[in-house]
Amino acid sequence: MESKTVELRNLVKNNSPLVHNITNVVVTNFTANGLYAIGASPVMAYAKEEVGDMASISQALVLNIGTLTSTEVEAMFIAGESANKHGVPIILDPVGVGATPYRTQTAKELLNRLSIQVVRGNAAEIANLIDEQVQMHGVDSKVEINNLADLAKKAANKLNTIIVMTGKTDLITNGEILFEVRNGHPMLTKVTGTGCLLSSVVAAFCSQSDDKTTACAAAVSFYGIAAEKAIEVNQSKGPGHFQMNFIDQLYNITDETIVNNIKIKQTQ
């Protein structure tokens, strides 16, 4: 996986894929800067009058329901149908699914009516998408790894999509193959939008490969390594500086650093 991850990272940097984000108002700036840092071209467009056109010329489309409104959901369907028609992969980030019925219902409708290639969320969000009653403590801290793998695979099969389930260990599965990624750092949970940006980075990597499950695993590992390196230079500073150091690392990280720090295991 080292060479595949290095290859995809460099393809993103060299090809600058246009990633169309319909995302929440909290993370727009951080997402755009993170995509620029890895060499991708971010675009945000929300108007129903243009999202179809924009999605059709993009290399990937990210739908993030973090601050959804009915107007935005309408735009998501238009963009999504255009993406499907033009063979543009869609990545869904079901932020906060389970917190309110409206979120849960909207995420399910998006999955029903569109062909979505990847869903990126935490264990609670993934569980809620398939109506699983998973006993969570804090989200996923006390749940056994085997259960999470079962949950991810079940969701992948039921929703007919690749699942990227992030947590202490990140799991990536298409329902058959399963990757475990053990890169990353807990400080990521102290900065808003790190999950959302990951979804967009996954989108950028997916745009550069037909083997999207492997591309997802590579993106998640690359992202986690950048976080680890950011912590090394962050020293005793807090999440304010971490945010900047993390963007710097997404930009600066070398092939050698990837090779030396990657922790991906294909377990199934």
Name which of 163 and 247 has its Cβ closer to its own copies.
Answer: 247
44 is annotated as contributing to ligand binding = yes
Give the side-chain half-sphere CA count within 13 A for 245. Answer: 20
166 is annotated as contributing to ligand binding = yes
Q: Alpha-carbon Rg of the chain, whole angstroms?
A: 17
121 is annotated as contributing to ligand binding = no
Name which of 19 and 149 has its Cβ closer to its own copies.
Answer: 19
Name which of 99 and 147 has its Cβ closer to its own copies.
Answer: 99
168 burial class (0-12, 13-18, 19+ CB within 10 angstroms)?
middle
Using alpha carbons only, give the angle 252, 254, 256 rounded to the nearest 5 degrees: 160
Asked if residue 215 lies in contact with residue 9, where contact means CB atoms within 8 angstroms, the answer is no
Give the contacts of 126 (CB within 8 A, at least 6 positions apart).
Answer: 94, 119, 151, 152, 155, 163, 165
Name which of 2 and 248 has its Cβ closer to its own copies.
Answer: 248
193 is annotated as contributing to ligand binding = yes
Shortest distance in whole angstroms from residue 173 CB to its own copies: 28
Site residues for its own copies per CB under 8 A: 24-30, 32-33, 36-37, 42-47, 49-50, 53-54, 57, 66-71, 96, 99-103, 189-193, 236-241, 243-252
Shortest distance in whole angstroms from residue 266 CB to its own copies: 31
Binding residue positions for substrate: 44, 193
